[in-house]
A and B are shown apart, each in its own frame.
Chain A
Amino acid sequence: MSRISKADRQIQLQREEAGDHLYANRVRVYPKSVHGPVRTAKWAILIVCLGIYYLLPWLRWHRGVNRPDQAVLLSIFHERFYFFNLEFWPQDIYYLTGLLIMAAIALFLVTSVIGRVWCGYTCPQTVWTDLFMWVEYLIEGDRNERMKRDASHTSFDTVWRKAAKHATWLGIAFWTGGAWIMYYVDAPTVTVEFWTGTASSEVYFFTFLFTATTYLLAGWAREQVCTYMCPWPRFQAAMLDEQSITVTYQGWRGEPRIRGKRHDDIAAGDCIDCGACVTACPTGIDIRDGIQLECINCGLCIDACNHVMERTGQPKWLITWDTLADQAAKAEGKQTTLHLLRPRTLIYMSALVLAVVLMTVALLNRATLGLSVLHDRAPLFVRQPDGNIRNGYTVKIANKGASPVLYEVRTDGLDGALLADPDEGLGPASRLGVMVGADTVGTFRITVAGQPGHLADGSQGIDFILRNTDTDERTVYHSLFMGPQ
């Protein structure tokens, strides 16, 4: 228990009685719709993002017989990720790591240059919230109408509009949840299966789950997600500096803000304190208080303010995109230039370029042939009646190609080595031919017998050489041959 003084406790009690409780009531945000260049750009980005999300699973891509023809498919059941011409195996997971690294650095770079535009324009939470608000606007009307209706008594008009709104929200949420599933299973097939009741329980479960989360997060939680749940606003401050371009109220121009008519004898800024920027804000803040945690940098306040400036005959862009440094200079009447290239952005850029180059090189040099050789744990070696030493290996050959391939396996480093595959009845011979089906991993137990030379610490190196007999593509795996010391 923390101890506080009697006087402080008294203050606390008074405040609690006055309704100032330990927990904050949610202040409902009724954003007013705006028009202008920022809003237009936001709609365009929304259409592109949602268009990709909803339609991409339906894009077909021919890959040959017995292979899925969906352009983007994360097939968990078959352990493959198909992305247009690329096909990833589970062991290619480091490409995902690389992609995530690139995404993180790109996010840092963009934030340090133009603030939280990710939050304001492309974050799914923002995109779907925007869509849901648009539905709300169409059915329930704009801010004032909605506020009036929520404050008045329940009427038939209120009920049907609310019902229609939630039904539409649920419809969009269901479409969203359904589209999510289509990235994991064939879209046309799962659609038919879904409506005929033959889809797997996982399909129904995840469709329901993502329907529920979309409806709750975009319909109800909205800005609460950004303010309370998302970790990004907490550490975005580390990426921003005084040279980052953010949505900014030009205080030097706007202040002192004065409502109503201007008189020559009173100093008055351009801001008429109409509150248009506050009512337009989807997170319910006042941008004139400066940069703050809740601001997602969407810039809708800019559009709202520009209309007002047009009507009052003042220059537009009282709220604008600018840097703190530039604003400080302008307040003093100086001219400055943007510093887009500065150590922070240069470091982010070089890290991004490095990651992109590394990943591209890795992707271009991706082998269609994978070989891994695992030496038997026990016994490490077996002495045979003729005195030869034999080692056992589990050889895995990944054929990432589209047709079955005959591979030749041989070893290098052990004189007179004889290979055998007792399961398949192959060998003993100096080289073995093994067949691996298209797009599969073949597992073979191969024994190698020979007379090792001098063994340092009971082992010597041995290379397994795998050759694709069709293309002559080779790959080598270095392993060990063990024997008595």
Chain B
Amino acid sequence: MPTKIEKDTITGTDTTGHEWDGVKELNTPLPKWWLYVLYATIAWAAVWFVLYPSWPGFTGYFHGVLGYSQRDSVDAEVRAVAAQRAGVMDKIGAMSFQQIRNDPQLMAATGTAGRIAFANNCQPCHGAGGGGQPAYPALAAGAWIWGGSLDAIQQTITYGIRSGDPKARDQQMPRFGVDGILKPEEIQQVADYVLTLYGHAETGPNVAAGKKLYADNCAICHGDAGQGDREKGAPRLASRVHLYGDSRAVVVDQIANPRMGVMPAWHTRLDPATIKSLTLYVHSLGGGE
């Protein structure tokens, strides 16, 4: 609380009358130019108020004399970036993969465009970096069902898998259990044999019977040694990478009532240059052929 204004004996300056625990505050005046700087900032604010959006209303706001809008300026920047990219993306769309790969600048552009397109469109199912998840192929693993060359990847992205597009890959696996092609115990025997294809020890007499059933029913697509067939989209079984899992129960289910995933066709949403960039990006994840 203010008490008493008095003259400080040492400095000859008045105190403010404020006192804290015996410490008194000198009333040293601010320089006048300091005050003028404050007035200048107020004047600056007044000018700003007129030039720029400043005052809200019930249905809108005062736009300012300059009509500046952050939204417009972002739009303009986005348009500018798109215009800047147009040349490069046109080139990518027109060139073959080999031509693009020979041009480090274009490769850098596809790397960025591909990475962003992947994050926006592919990542929810295939995982960041193409790590995959059960029922969604790991694109970085090199375990391709339909092929891992640039052309094969481009075809898959463009038209999808069982997407309903006329050019889509849509081969189906017979439903050996549901449609009664194999009896339940036969399915168990085949499953036992399939497990041996990827390193499980042979377990009992089932395997011999399973091997015979496999040769009769499965080998035509999955290959004699379980090496798979990309033409038919038959996965390689002699592999440590499995789309739906590698336990016996999963294998039995997959024979009896196979799950067959669907991937949409992307040519309806993405332009060819973006699909090419995506293809190169997916190819570079570590599994490309």
Q: What is A's interface to B at a CB cutoff of 8 Å?
A: 2-5, 8, 11-12, 15, 21-26, 224, 228, 376-380, 382-387, 390, 392, 420, 422-423, 445, 447
Contacts and interface: CB of A to CB of B under 8 A. Distances in A.
A382 B286 contact: yes
A392 B286 contact: yes
Say which size band chain B's interface belongs to.
35 or more
Nearest to B128: A378
Contact of A23 (B34, B285, B287): B34
A423 B141 CA distance: 16
Contact of B30 (A2, A4, A23, A384): A23
Contacts of B111: 423
B252 to A, nearest CB: 22
Nearest to A391: B286
Most chain A beta-carbon contacts within 10 A, residue among B33, B111, B284? B33
B24 to A, nearest CB: 14
B276 to A, nearest CB: 16
B142 interface: yes
A387 to B, nearest CB: 4
Given A379-B131, A422-B284, A422-B288, A385 B239 contact: yes
Interface stretch (B1-9, B151-159, B162-170, B253-261): B1-9
Nearest to B101: A425
A25 B32 CA distance: 6
B241 A383 contact: yes
Given A8-B17, A24-B29, 5 more contacts: A2-B17, A4-B2, A23-B34, A24-B31, A379-B138
Contacts of A21: 29
Given A24-B31, A383-B141, A384-B143, A8 B129 contact: no
Interface in B214-271: 236, 239-241
A392 B129 contact: yes
B17 A382 contact: no
Nearest to A26: B31
B34 A386 contact: no
A217 to B, nearest CB: 13
B4 A385 contact: no
A382 B140 contact: yes
B32 A385 contact: no
B32 A8 contact: no
A382 B133 CA distance: 11
Given A383-B240, A422-B286, A24 B32 contact: yes
Given A445-B284, A447-B286, A382 B34 contact: no
Contacts of B143: 384-385
B132 interface: yes
Interface string B126-151: 01111110000010111100000000
A23 B141 contact: no
Contacts of A447: 286
B240 A385 contact: yes
A379 B30 contact: no
A328 to B, nearest CB: 18
Nearest to B34: A228
A385 B14 CA distance: 88
A4 B18 CA distance: 10
A420 B130 CA distance: 17
Contact of B35 (A2, A8, A23): A23
A390 B138 CA distance: 12
A387 B143 CA distance: 11
Nearest to B111: A423
Contact of A386 (B4, B107, B240, B285): B240
Contact of B128 (A25, A377, A423): A377
A15 B17 CA distance: 15
Contacts of B33: 26, 224
B140 A26 contact: no
Nearest to A15: B14
Nearest to B138: A382
B199 interface: yes
19 contacts: A2-B17, A2-B18, A5-B2, A23-B29, A23-B35, A24-B31, A376-B129, A377-B129, A379-B129, A382-B141, A383-B141, A385-B239, A387-B240, A390-B141, A392-B129, A392-B140, A392-B286, A422-B283, A422-B285
Contacts of B30: 22-24
Nearest to B241: A385
Contacts of B285: 422
A22 B14 CA distance: 12
A286 to B, nearest CB: 12
